[in-house]
Structure 1
Amino acid sequence: MLFNVEFDRKGIIEGYLIPDGFSDQSSILVTRDDGTVVSFPCDQPRPAVVQSGRHATGIVGFRIDESRMPDLASQRRLAIQDARTGLLIYRRPPVDEPVELKLLRLELNIVPMAKFDAYCGGNFQYAISAVERFGHETTMQAFHLHAHKSIYISGRLLLRNYEEFLDNGFQAIADVPDPYYEMACRLFILKRLAKGPVTFLGDRDRLILTPASEHFAEVNLDDDKAVNRALKKASDKARSVLISPITRQLVCTYPEQRVTRRDIAAAIGTLSRFKVVGHEGDHAHFQQAIGELLSLPPMNIPVIPRYSLLEELAMRLRQMPVAESMLEEDLILDHYVRQAMVPSAQRTGKPQR
């Protein structure tokens, strides 16, 4: 999906929305300051879209003016979304002083930090969360919104495919999860997925996770022997979603790509480029650093709560050699992340000054 707003002159907004389907008709939803929503078809021709082979008719543009919305100029918080997916296309600044920064939050947890994104993203003019659900083309479009100086993107992306944007105006942040706790989360989600859809997973995720979901569907996660046996007997496709997923996100370009110890250095190098790196074991550090970066009160920044049920499963996974072997690269990476977060005086044994 391709989209953009070409200009916003208070009483006139013009842009385009090219749908995924070659002959689909696109439409937009405009949310006014009072929360009411108005629907408009994309009815403006864009001949170049036909010439490039992107759409059958090229009727993908939209124009909103005061003949359609008489009080358009006074709508300070107006927002425009794709009617089919809910994807944000454009919005006027949602706050008086939006953060003037282009920021990527790389999601390294299978359970997204939705409250974090809602709070932090609400301080940017443009924001899109769980961007991986919309596919590679839509994600690239979000990165290419050059007219915006205030952009917040978050998602469980394979970063190597988007790393160029770290050299092109974007800064990156990430909160690195504990590998065993993340494995526990994934096993729990796999069992849920076997019973029905999980709302925060996109179509591609469901396709990738299905073999593992089917394998673990009947496994009792409270039974250590059953979990251990299931991990050992998992097929390559089922194992792949559990093998060092954090390292893979940092160095791989496609989901089925495997990692080895040689990739750890590259993963560490990638993380060294991030503006803020947190660790699940120290939420206060992450909140403080994000607060300073975005000029927001640190204590108001939400973090993912840890669940005792999953913590218990993670503790039991630590006792299983098969789990350790599957997480080998992530465990080494986790060690270096923890070491980097320890003050230098504590690492050397010298007193802090």
Structure 2
Amino acid sequence: MLFNLEYDREDIIEGYLIPDGFSNEPVVKVTLDDGSSFLQPCDQMRQAALDAGRHATGLVGFRLDASNTPDLAAQSGLSVRDADTGLLIYRRPGARKTLDMKLFRLELRMIPAIKLDKQCGHKFQYAMSAAERFGNETTLQMFHLNAINSIYVSGRLPLRGYEEFLDKGFHFVGSIPEPYYEMASRLFILKRLSREPVTFISDRDQIFLQPAARHFAEVNLQDEGAVRRALKRADGKVRNVLVSPVTRQLVCSDPEQQVTRRDIAAAIDAVSRFTTVGYDNDVGHFHQAIGELLDIPPVELPITPRYAFLEEMAERLRTMQIAETMLEEDLIFDYYVRQAVAPEPATLTEASS
């Protein structure tokens, strides 16, 4: 799906929405300041979409003006979304004071920091969290919104596919999870996924995770021996979910790509280019840096809670050789990150040299 705002002249707004389906007729949902909304067909010709073979008719443009939105100029907080998926295409800032900044928060945890995204996203004109819910082309379009200078995107995305935007005006931030606690989180989610869909996991990821979910469906996660045996019996598809997921996300473009020790330096080099990096639940430095960057008092930034049962599971995993082997690259990467965020740290760049 491709989309963009072409211009907003107060009494006229024009943009386009090219749907995934070649012959689908796109429709946008326009929401006004009073909360009311209406559907507007994309009935404006975009010859480039037709010539490029992206759409059967080229009727993918939308236009808002006095004919369909009589008081358009007065709608300071108007928003435009894809009527089918709810994807935000454009919104006016309204009464909010938005930041003239483009920021990407890389989500490295399986359990997302939803409340943090909500608090931070409110400071931007365009904001989208959990961007991994959408296809790669759609997500890339969020970074290419050239008519908007206030953009916040977060998601559990493979960094390699978006690293180019570090040189295109985006600030990157992220917090590195502790490896054993993250493995415990993933096992818990896999167990839950074996019984029911998990709302914060994208449909595409749920398909990728299903083999691992089936593998752990009958495993008692409180039984250390049962967990150890299940980890040892894991086949390639199950291991892909658990083997050094942070390093993999930082250096691989394919979730099934294998990582080796040689990838650790590349992972360290990647995060050394971030505006700020946090570590696990040691949120003081990270929240202070994010607060200063976004002009938000750090005390107003929500802290993702730590769960006692996951802490206990992580402690049991620390005693298992098989878990250590699976997390080998992440554990080495974790060591350098902890050194870098310690008091008077060496920089991540120095650690990678």
TM range (shorter): over 0.9
Alpha-carbon distance between aligned partners in 2 of 1:261 and 1:346, rounded to the nearest angstrom: 21
Describe the superposition over 1:88-144 as per-residue Cα deviations: whole angstroms up to 9, x where unpaired. Answer: 100111553211111110000011111111110111011111111101101111111
Specify the alignment match of 2:234 in structure 1.
Answer: 234
* Deviation of the 1:47 alpha carbon: 2.1
Residue identity in the other structure for 2:85: T
* Deviation of the 1:345 alpha carbon: 8.0
Specify the alignment match of 1:187 in structure 2.
Answer: 187
Contact 1:105 1:155 in 2 (8 A): yes
Alpha-carbon distance between aligned partners in 2 of 1:179 and 1:295, rounded to the nearest angstrom: 31
Alpha-carbon distance between aligned partners in 1 of 2:180 and 2:244, rounded to the nearest angstrom: 10
Describe the superposition over 1:241-268 as per-residue Cα deviations: whole angstroms up to 9, x where unpaired. Answer: 0000000111111111111111111111
Asked if 1:142 is matched to 2:142, the reply is yes
Moved more, 193-202 or 133-142: 193-202
Normalising by structure 1, we get a TM-score of: 0.96
* Deviation of the 1:281 alpha carbon: 3.0
Residue identity in the other structure for 1:271: V
Question: Where do 5+ consecutive residues of structure 2 fail to align?
Answer: 348-353
Alpha-carbon distance between aligned partners in 2 of 1:27 and 1:181, rounded to the nearest angstrom: 43
Contact 1:18 1:26 in 2 (8 A): yes
Alignment length (residue pairs)? 347
Secondary structure of residue in 1 paired with 2:267: helix
Structure 2 counterparts to residues 266-345 of structure 1, below 5 A: 266-344=266-344
Alpha-carbon distance between aligned partners in 2 of 1:32 and 1:125, rounded to the nearest angstrom: 15
Alpha-carbon distance between aligned partners in 2 of 1:69 and 1:75, rounded to the nearest angstrom: 9
Contact 1:94 1:122 in 2 (8 A): no
Residue identity in the other structure for 2:17: L
Specify the alignment match of 1:350 in structure 2.
Answer: none
Secondary structure of residue in 2 paired with 1:165: helix
* Deviation of the 1:307 alpha carbon: 0.9
Normalising by structure 2, we get a TM-score of: 0.96
Specify the alignment match of 1:102 in structure 2.
Answer: 102
Contact 2:291 2:298 in 1 (8 A): yes
Question: Where do 5+ consecutive residues of structure 1 fail to align?
Answer: 348-353
Residue identity in the other structure for 1:58: G
Q: CA distance change for structure 1 residues 94 and 240 in 2, over 3 Å: closer, same or farther? A: farther
Contact 2:76 2:95 in 1 (8 A): no
Structure 2 counterparts to residues 116-127 of structure 1, below 5 A: 116-127=116-127
Contact 1:95 1:123 in 2 (8 A): no
Contact 1:194 1:217 in 2 (8 A): yes
Alpha-carbon distance between aligned partners in 2 of 1:329 and 1:346, rounded to the nearest angstrom: 20
Identity of aligned pairs, percent?
Answer: 62
Segments of 4+ moved more than 6 angstroms: none
